[in-house]
Structure 1
Amino acid sequence: MGAVRPQPSGLTFARAVWRLVRRIPRGRVMTYGQVAAALGRPGAARRVGWAMRICPPDVPWHRVVNAQGGISARGGAPRRWPAAARVPSDSMRTQRLRLEAEGVALRRGRVALARHRWRPRSA
């Protein structure tokens, strides 16, 4: 029987997510599941979503999309964060505009993953 891999704490995992997402180049995207798998947690796509919800303002959250390449609504930063750090309620529109500004093509609200998906060499 193999060794049981310890689960990282929520904030430790979130920081790992943020480090990886900061590496996604302009014009490229990753899916929540792809980020989780790259961090050795293939079943943790929802945890990635949570990490993106509370990410600091310098994390390019708009470069993470759902499994179909779609844009998902983002809950915004916790209330305890300064208002300037919170994402506006129209996060889906903001995400689309940011992706388009980086040259990411969306068709019917979805990113062409075959063209824009980023595959990191290592997490």
Structure 2
Amino acid sequence: MDRIALRGLRAKGFHGVLPRERAEGQPFVVDVDLGVDTRAAAAHDDLARTVDYGLVAEQVTAVVTGEPCDLLETLAQRIADQCLSHEAVHEAIVTVHKPQAPISVPFADVTITIKRSRA
């Protein structure tokens, strides 16, 4: 399986369990790693035989800016589902970063990483 990766997609979302997170929002950063068989696309030099990563980037950003959820787990699942909606994508590894999470001690980042594939 070949890999197409998007790193550091940034968008403001209103996800979290605290009222402040829902009211003010905060930045989220998303990395996606897509499992795609790119041989047919390469052989025919044809975008229709792979996944348009520009479109995926727009869709991932739309999920982040879209309907709020309480948990990073839910957000990551929604993103993975969106990625897997593309016929060419057989697997999606999604990492969601929440660099401004409401934590009372100094920290660099909070992330969740999930791996999903077609059934």
Same fold (TM over 0.5): no
| TM-score normalised by L of structure 1 | 0.30
Whose strand proportion is higher, 1 or 2?
2
| TM-score normalised by L of structure 2 | 0.30
